[in-house]
């Protein structure tokens, strides 16, 4: 059975590592977002890496050592006191990928733990269907999703675009 694992890679080697892993037939995900940069003479779309030095790989136990054969892959993320790589639940990865793919706002990753807020579902806009927690930070409302061991991915969201859901519904999906 395949699981998502987070692998540390050398700084500025994330995109090359993604390409090498794909050429090896290993399913991987590099969280990037496109942003338009303005210079005095031109505008250009630039791919920004959301989590520097981290790439996600989906492997089973027999394939786990393959990514580590690349010189740019340093090691897997492990829980403190353990030696096996930490598994990131599929439901969390699916919500994170959905948020990155469809958000028109910049997705931020905050390593601090999330203070529990109201569980909400986005009902309007490009992120319709995304479920997470509603936060208020510096007077702005945000929808946040937890990613085990990495923190919280959050995006600005008007409270008019969300509806409240029961906490049990959200946590059933994470299991």
Distances 12 to 72, 81, 112, 125 between C-alpha atoms, Å: 10, 29, 24, 33
pLDDT in the model for residue 32: 94
| Residue 114 confidence (pLDDT) | 62
State whether 62 and 112 are in the same domain.
Answer: no
- Residue 96 and residue 166 share a domain: yes
| Domain of 101, in residue numbers | 90-174
d(CA 91, CA 97): 10
DSSP 98: H
Pull the structure tokens for residue 8: 């540390």
With a cut of 50, list the residues of the chain below it in pLDDT: 170-175
Give the pLDDT confidence score for residue 80 in this predicted structure: 81
Query: What tens digit of pLDDT does each residue of 98-148 get?
Result: 999 998 888 888 776 666 678 888 998 889 999 888 888 888 888 888 888
Residues 151 and 99 in one domain: yes
pTM for the full predicted model: 0.80
The pLDDT of residue 158: 85
Q: Which residues, other chains included, contact 156 with Cβ-Cβ below 8 Å and sequence gap of 6+?
A: 105, 140, 141, 142
User: Under 8 Å CB-to-CB from 45, ≥6 apart: which residues?
Assistant: 34, 35, 36, 37
């Amino acid at each position: 059975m395949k699981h998502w694992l987070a692998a540390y890679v050398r700084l500025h080697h994330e995109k090359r590592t993604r390409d090498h892993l794909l050429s090896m037939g290993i399913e991987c995900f590099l969280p990037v977002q496109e942003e338009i940069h303005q210079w005095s003479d031109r505008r250009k779309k630039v791919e920004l890496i959301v989590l520097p030095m981290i790439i996600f790989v989906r492997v089973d136990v027999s394939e786990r050592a393959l990514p580590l054969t690349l010189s740019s892959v340093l090691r897997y993320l492990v829980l403190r006191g353990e030696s096996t790589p930490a598994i990131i639940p599929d439901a969390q990865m699916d919500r994170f990928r959905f948020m990155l793919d469809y958000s028109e706002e910049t997705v931020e990753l905050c390593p601090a733990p999330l203070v529990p807020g109201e569980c909400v579902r986005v009902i309007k806009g490009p992120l319709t269907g995304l479920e997470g927690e509603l936060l208020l930070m510096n007077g702005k409302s945000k929808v946040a999703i937890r990613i085990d061991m990495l923190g919280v991915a959050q995006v600005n969201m008007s409270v008019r675009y969300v509806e409240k859901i029961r906490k049990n519904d959200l946590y059933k999906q994470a299991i």
